[in-house]
């Protein structure tokens, strides 16, 4: 009887293992991205297409706001996803964890605009740039028309503030921020800071920011401008407590004139309403300087160098590099594709891309000019201004100390 | 029991001891080691910086508010959950129609993940389109940015956490009430003791073991509160609602100061250890006095 029971138990255990054996003959790749909204849904769809074609399973995760924190934990434990997105940090933060991809057949197809932003000092690239984040300020064309402003007349921040005043008087919200998702505030500073410290050829702090000699008192002018906008009612009342989803909803409903997001926000906004949206360059701070655009990685995917399934991971990367797949993903982001030869639907801003083709582009400020870990200082100090807990002096001190600490200069 | 049997029985402790050593003892001492480094939390290179991270604690502009908030979350939630939990338990212990359903309804929020509870509550309290503001507008009021003022945000978090876990306190007290032998209450009735006297001299003293368990559980839960704060507020401590748990996570994951985060972890551990032991000691004495 005991023997029968033992055999029964063994058979039962074998049966429970059976599905794993039959279904697990294909490899499962862990794939992570930081994407949200429409492009996240499209990426999940692409994963399913890949599995249907190759039999390789994809365990796809997109932890949204927690992506960066979770990736840091994974780097600390050296247990990364097989394929993951690098959200602008393929060289500085992730390169030591990624396999160089220069040997892939598509290497020569990468767009000229993105190559310097994803290449290290030795000429290695570590990601497939599915698309390129070339962005300015998202704006509502109808609101600007209503207040009688030609967007190309907005050259400096003084011009911008004057337009905000008109927009406010017309009953709209000039600029919308979602402080609960405090990256929306960090992004504001990240996009505006170049006009103060980088873009002006006649007077800039590019070298000082990189070599650690930057005079942080200069940051006060930027903090003051933000505080001034808040005081003058240019920002939404709930700028400190709202979230990204509300930003795009209000944008789509036509209640907001400007938002400091990439063109993905237009795609998300269009789900809420039919607002007539466009993209404009970022104004200059100095008289004589010209408006600029921001360029960087958007959806860029790399392969973990210690992946247990390197062949399959590369197969997935090459699947993403197919023109039709790349086009689909770039279109979902409303962005230009990562290869010169691939067309994408940039939707409402297609005309803007053409119009501003000759406008100078600069990388995201924190990715080049701030040491690792300072992005959150942009978010925290911005929130400090909004909730009144930080003065300009406090912000300057806070930024200086954090910068010196992270540059190891304290 | 022979010595050999005892030795064999002691072997059964080993798996638990091993797990405790791997998941509690080792991380604790590793945390102490990291607290003396400038590790950024993910790259393999770092150096030892002595007591620099401990010194930072003294100059950190956010630490005092974070510490104070943690006390508010710990003691505020404990007080509310226990007072309300006790009231609900006494009510639910009486016989009425639909008692079972009502007990389930009160306990239901405890079964939801606190992060989800937090996100649901964000839709209630948010300025634009929030349920509470919609109700205010319906009655001719004005919209309020509920989560904009630090003190108010802390209060909202305490209320939300209490709403979620009051059912747990209620269940503990209900179990305690059902363990009170009927002979005591019957004897008191015969002696003509009123309902307040019954509660004061019979129910409350005999509930002391349940109160001790509930207070300790709620206190530890409140002191390490994380999810609801994270769901309702930004990660940055400048909102004035951060707790030690959210702040140490922020320092590790966002600011990349793993060493300082480890210091905050040690402070949290020591603080909870002291508070929970003092509370246990207090309630043990009360139990001894009352029983």
Can you give the residue ranges of every domain in chain A?
Answer: 21-133+297-355, 135-295+359-406
Q: What pLDDT, in 10s, does the model give residues B23-60?
A: 999 999 999 999 999 998 988 889 999 999 999 999 99
Beta strand residue intervals within A23-160, DSSP E: 28-32, 57-61, 83-85, 128-129, 131-135, 137-140
B42 and A73 within 8 Å at the Cβ level: the answer is: yes
Residue A390 has its nearest CB partner, among B234, B238, B254, at: B238
pLDDT > 70: what percent of chain B? 99
* Cβ atoms of residues A333 and A261 within 8 Å: no
Q: How far apart are CA B141 and CA A340, in angstroms?
A: 56
| pLDDT given for residue A64 in this prediction | 84
- With contacts defined as CB-CB under 8 Å, which chain B residues touch A383? 234, 236, 238-239
pTM exceeds cut of 0.90: no
**Residue A210 is inside which H or E element, if any?**
helix A206-211
* B residues 140-159 lying closer than 8 A (beta carbon) to A: 145-148, 150
Q: Quick one: how many helices (H) and strands (E) in chain A?
A: 16, 13
Q: Do A241 and B150 lie within an 8 Å CB cutoff?
A: no
The CA distance from B12 to the nearest CA of chain A, in Å, is 24
Domain membership flag for residue B106: yes
Using the beta-carbon criterion (under 8 Å), do B148 and A376 form an inter-chain contact?
A: no
A182–B249 CB contact, under 8 Å: no
What are the chain B neighbours of A237 within 8 Å (beta carbons)? 127, 145
User: Which of B239, B246, B251, B257 to mutate to probe the A interface, most A CBs <10 Å?
Assistant: B239
Q: In terms of residue numbers, what domain contains B187? A: 34-290
Element (H or E) spanning A361, and its range? strand A361-363
Is there a domain that residue B128 lies in?
A: yes
Cβ–Cβ < 8 Å for A234, A175? yes
pLDDT at A109: 95
Interface residue A131 vs chain B (CB under 8 A)? no
Q: Give yes or no for A373 touching B (CB within 8 A).
A: yes
- Please tell me which of the candidates A73, A249, A383 has its beta carbon nearest to residue B236: A383
A-chain residue closest to B45, CA distance: A76
Cβ of A377 within 8 Å of Cβ of B255? The answer is yes
Residue B252 within a domain? yes
- What CATH number was assigned to the domain covering residues A21-133+297-355? 3.40.190.10
Q: Is the dihedral of CA A20, A25, A30, A31 positive or negative?
A: negative
Both tokens of A239, joined, read: 């700028």
What is the predicted pLDDT for the residue at A2?
53
Minimal-distance CA residue of chain B relative to A390: B238
The shortest CB-CB distance from A180 to any of B234, B249, B250 is to B234
- The DSSP code sequence of chain B is --HHHHHHHHHTHHHHHHHHIIIIIHHHHHHHHHTTB---SSSS---B-TTHHHHHHHH-TTHHHHHHHHHIIIIIHHHHHHHHHHHHHHHHTS--TTHHHHHHHHHGGGGS-HHHHHHHHHHHH-TTT-HHHHHHHHTT-----TTSSHHHHHHHHHHHHHHHHHHHHHHHHHHHHHTS-HHHHHHHHHTT--HHHHIIIIIHHHTHHHHHHHHHHHHHHHHT--HHHHHHS-SSGGGS---HHHHHHIIIIIS--HHHHHHHHHHHHHHHHHHHHHHHHHHHHHHHHH-
Structure confidence at residue A62 (pLDDT): 94
Secondary structure (H, E, C), B78-138: HHHHHHHHHHHHHHHCCCCCCHHHHHHHHHHHHHCCHHHHHHHHHHHHCCCCCHHHHHHHH
C-alpha gyration radius of chain A: 24
Predicted local distance difference test score (pLDDT) of residue A3: 56
Domain count, chain B: 1
What is the C-alpha to C-alpha distance for residues B126 and B138, in angstroms, rounded to an integer? 16
Handedness of CA A259, A261, A267, A272 (dihedral sign): negative
Whether residue B25 lies inside any domain: the answer is no
Does a structural domain hold residue B16? no
Rounded CA-CA distance A254/A277 in Å is 9
Chain B: residue nearest A379 by CA?
Answer: B236
Are A376 and B129 an interchain contact pair (Cβ–Cβ within 8 Å)? no
Average confidence (pLDDT) over B97-123: 94
B134 falls within a domain: yes
Q: Which CATH class is domain A135-295+359-406?
A: alpha beta
| A240 to B256: CB separation less than 8 angstroms, yes or no | no
Helical H runs in A36-156? 37-54, 67-76, 141-146
Per-residue pLDDT tens, chain A, 410 aa: give them.
555 555 555 555 444 444 333 333 579 999 999 998 889 999 999 999 999 999 999 999 999 878 988 998 899 889 999 999 999 899 988 999 999 999 999 999 999 989 999 999 999 999 999 999 898 999 999 999 999 999 999 999 999 999 999 999 999 999 999 999 999 999 999 999 999 999 999 999 999 999 999 999 999 999 999 999 999 999 999 999 999 999 999 999 999 999 999 888 998 899 999 999 999 999 999 999 999 999 999 999 999 999 999 999 999 999 999 999 999 999 998 899 999 999 999 888 999 999 999 999 999 999 899 998 899 999 999 999 999 989 999 999 999 999 998 888 87
Q: Do B129 and A246 touch (CB under 8 A)?
A: yes
**Per-residue model confidence (pLDDT) at position B182:** 87
Residue contact B147–A241, C-beta within 8 A? yes
pLDDT on residue B162 = 96
**Contact flag B234-A383 (C-beta cutoff 8 Å):** yes
Q: What is the pLDDT of residue A11?
A: 52
Q: How close A186 gets to chain B, by Cα (Å)?
A: 11
Beta-strand pair A83-85/A300-303: antiparallel
| Partners of residue B234 in chain A, C-beta under 8 Å | 179-182, 240, 379, 383
Report the residue from B42, B128, B254 with minimal CB separation from A75. B42
Minimal C-alpha gap between A387 and chain B (Å): 7
- Write the DSSP assignment of A155-205 as a string of letters: -BHHHHHHHHHHHHHTTSEEE---TTSTHHHHHHHHHHHHHHHTS-SSS--
């Amino acid at each position: 009887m005991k023997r029968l029971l033992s055999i029964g138990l063994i058979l039962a255990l074998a049966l429970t293992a059976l599905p794993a054996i039959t279904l697990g003959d294909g490899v499962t790749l862990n794939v992570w991205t930081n994407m949200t909204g429409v492009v996240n849904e499209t990426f999940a769809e692409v994963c399913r297409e890949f599995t249907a074609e190759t039999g390789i399973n994809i365990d796809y995760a997109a932890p949204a706001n927690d992506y960066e924190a979770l990736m840091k934990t994974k780097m600390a434990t050296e247990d990364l996803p097989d394929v993951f997105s690098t959200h602008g940090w393929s060289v500085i933060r992730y390169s030591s964890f990624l396999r160089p991809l220069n040997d892939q057949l598509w290497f020569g197809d990468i767009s000229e605009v993105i190559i310097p932003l994803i290449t290290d000092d030795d000429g290695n690239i570590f990601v497939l740039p599915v698309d390129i984040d070339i962005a300015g300020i998202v704006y509502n064309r109808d609101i600007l028309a209503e207040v009688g402003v030609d967007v190309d007349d907005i050259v400096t921040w003084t011009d911008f503030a004057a337009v905000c005043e008109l927009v406010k008087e017309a009953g709209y919200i000039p600029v919308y921020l979602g402080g609960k998702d405090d990256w929306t505030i960090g992004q504001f500073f990240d996009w505006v800071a170049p006009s103060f410290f980088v873009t002006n050829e006649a007077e800039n702090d590019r070298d000082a920011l990189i070599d650690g000699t930057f005079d942080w008192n200069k940051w006060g002018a930027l903090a003051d401008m933000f505080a001034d906008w808040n005081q003058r009612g240019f920002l939404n009342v709930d700028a400190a407590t709202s979230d990204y989803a509300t930003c795009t909803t209000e944008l789509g409903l036509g209640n907001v004139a400007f938002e400091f997001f990439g063109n993905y926000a237009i795609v998300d906004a269009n789900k809420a309403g039919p607002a007539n949206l466009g993209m404009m360059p970022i104004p200059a701070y100095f008289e004589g300087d010209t408006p600029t655009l921001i360029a960087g990685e958007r959806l860029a995917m790399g392969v973990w160098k210690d992946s247990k399934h390197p062949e399959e991971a590369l197969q997935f990367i090459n699947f993403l590099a197919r023109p039709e797949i790349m086009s689909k993903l770039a279109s979902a982001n409303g962005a230009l594709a990562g290869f010169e030869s691939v067309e994408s639907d940039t939707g409402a801003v297609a005309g803007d891309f053409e119009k501003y083709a000759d406008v100078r582009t600069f990388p995201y400020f924190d990715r080049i000019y701030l040491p690792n870990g300072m992005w959150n200082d942009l978010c925290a100090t911005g929130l400090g201004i909004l909730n009144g807990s930080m003065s300009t002096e406090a912000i300057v001190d806070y930024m200086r100390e954090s910068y010196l600490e992270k540059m190891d200069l304290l | 029991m022979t010595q050999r049997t005892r030795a064999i029985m002691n072997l059964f402790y080993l798996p638990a001891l091993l797990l405790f050593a791997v998941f509690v003892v080792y991380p604790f001492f590793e945390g102490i080691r990291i607290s003396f480094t400038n590790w950024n939390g993910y790259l393999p290179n770092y150096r030892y910086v002595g007591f620099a991270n401990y010194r930072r604690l003294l100059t950190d502009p956010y630490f005092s508010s974070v510490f104070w908030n943690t006390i508010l979350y710990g003691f505020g939630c404990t007080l509310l959950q226990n007072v309300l939990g006790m009231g609900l338990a006494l009510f639910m212990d009486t016989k009425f129609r639909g008692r079972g359903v009502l007990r389930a309804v009160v306990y239901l929020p405890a079964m939801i993940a606190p992060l989800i509870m937090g996100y649901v509550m964000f839709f209630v309290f948010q300025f634009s389109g929030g349920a509470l503001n919609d109700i205010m507008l319906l009655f001719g009021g004005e919209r309020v940015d509920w989560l904009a003022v630090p003190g108010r945000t802390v209060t909202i978090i305490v209320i939300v956490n209490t709403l979620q876990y009051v059912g747990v306190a209620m269940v503990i007290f209900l179990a305690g009430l059902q363990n009170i032998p009927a002979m005591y209450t019957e004897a008191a009735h015969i002696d003509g003791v009123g309902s307040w006297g019954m509660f004061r001299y019979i129910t409350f003293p005999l509930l002391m073991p349940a109160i001790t368990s509930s207070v300790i559980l709620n206190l530890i839960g409140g002191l390490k509160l994380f999810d609801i704060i994270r769901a309702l507020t930004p990660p940055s401590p400048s909102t004035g609602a951060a707790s030690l748990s959210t702040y140490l996570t922020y320092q590790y994951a966002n600011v990349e100061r793993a060493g300082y985060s480890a210091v905050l972890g040690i402070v949290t551990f020591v603080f909870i250890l002291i508070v929970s032991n003092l509370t246990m000691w207090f309630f043990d004495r009360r139990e001894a006095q009352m029983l």
